[in-house]
Structure 1
Amino acid sequence: MSTEALAPFRGRQPFAMVSDLVVPGALDLDADDRLWVPQAPDVAFRPLLLSPSQGYFVNLLRVRRSGVLSRHRHAGPVHSFTLRGRWHYLEHDWEATEGGYAFEPPGETHTLVVPDGVAEMITLFHVTGSYVYVDPDGRATGYEDVFTKIENARRHYAEIGLGAERVEEFLR
């Protein structure tokens, strides 16, 4: 291989480009429990990337109970990879299983369920925009977005002694 082929790029990167983000051990599903931000009883998330300037987040969602998790409507697209366990939506006949990928279109409303017998479900979600929690008739009951994720992570990391600034390593 030529020396030129092995040379790094010598040009300038685009103005105002954000820096790369590398999260070692991102898929270590049994990592330090303190990294998991409590969201509800037996539900926690582990941030991987929080992008307030672009309005999206990437996180691992961990659920350690069966039953209905939430009913929500997406403002933007969602991509998911199920890493452990399984889950489904009441409104669909498919089930997300370990190793599988699912795409959820903007505007869809659905009810997430972790089936009986699943001790733990962990799924990597890439969420653009927000989701609005709704009752069975579609009336809003709450919401979640990158900004609520940042605040929840900041509060959690401060409370457990990792420092509120810990969340900044995930911001881009």
Structure 2
Amino acid sequence: MLFETIDTGCLNAEDTPWIPYTPYADDVLIKYFKIDRVRGETISLLKVPPGTKLATHHHTGTVIVYTVQGSWKYIEHDWVAHTGSVVYETASTRHTPIAVSKDETVITLNVVSGELLYLDDAGSTVATENWRSAMNRYLEHCRKAGIEPKDLSSFSY
């Protein structure tokens, strides 16, 4: 059976590069661990400089965000997520993240299902992020940097 051939894997941070989260923000970096085209899910770290505001977006699926370092919030909410916080976002939510740490880079671990629809000021979709755009960003970065890409669709590189 197929499930018997899948081993437990360890995804080490040094196995994949930090990549600029372009075209949305050149100073925001993303590190992909898993890009699952079957489930439409990505697992990644996001590194955001202090005070950086990201674009407003709408989630078509659920998102789990663990704050590894720093503090951040959504402009639309009163709470602030600090180091060690877990934020669970239901499907069909819309928000605008901002790093509220004054002198500390924010790093979050993100498990994203479905699509992120980036919105303009009128609420119209201007860009879509999903497993396919994540894989394209990763492969393009590896190509430009001369890095041999890992199989991010697998839990064992």
TM-score class, shorter-chain normalisation, is 0.7 to 0.9
- Are positions 1:107 and 2:92 aligned together? yes
Residue of structure 2 in register with 1:147 after alignment: 132
- Are positions 1:80 and 2:60 aligned together? no
Separation in structure 2 between the aligned mates of residue 106 and residue 18 of structure 1, nearest angstrom: 29
- Deviation sequence 1:79-113 (CA, Å, 0-9, x none): 01000111100111111111110001110100111
Task: State the secondary structure of the residue aligned to 1:70.
Answer: coil
Residue of structure 1 in register with 2:17 after alignment: 35
Separation in structure 1 between the aligned mates of residue 114 and residue 133 of structure 2, nearest angstrom: 12
CA contact (8 A) 1:88 1:96 kept: yes
CA contact (8 A) 1:157 1:167 kept: no
| Number of residue pairs matched by the alignment | 151
> Which amino acid is 2:62 matched to?
P
Residue of structure 1 in register with 2:77 after alignment: 92
Separation in structure 2 between the aligned mates of residue 121 and residue 42 of structure 1, nearest angstrom: 12
Distance 1:78 1:118, change over 3 A: farther
Q: From 102, 114, 128, give the equivalent of 1:117.
A: 102
Distance 1:136 1:118, change over 3 A: farther
Separation in structure 2 between the aligned mates of residue 160 and residue 14 of structure 1, nearest angstrom: 35
Separation in structure 2 between the aligned mates of residue 20 and residue 72 of structure 1, nearest angstrom: 34
Give the drift of 1:36: 0.3
> Which amino acid is 1:53 matched to?
V
Residue of structure 2 in register with 1:55 after alignment: 40
Separation in structure 2 between the aligned mates of residue 69 and residue 128 of structure 1, nearest angstrom: 19
Separation in structure 2 between the aligned mates of residue 14 and residue 60 of structure 1, nearest angstrom: 27
Q: Which has the higher contact order (CA 8 A, sep 6+)?
A: 2
Q: What TM-score do the two structures reach when normalised by structure 1?
A: 0.80
What percentage of residue pairs aligned between the two structures are identical? 26
Separation in structure 2 between the aligned mates of residue 13 and residue 152 of structure 1, nearest angstrom: 30
- Structure 1: runs of 5 or more not aligned: 1-11
Higher Cα radius of gyration: 1
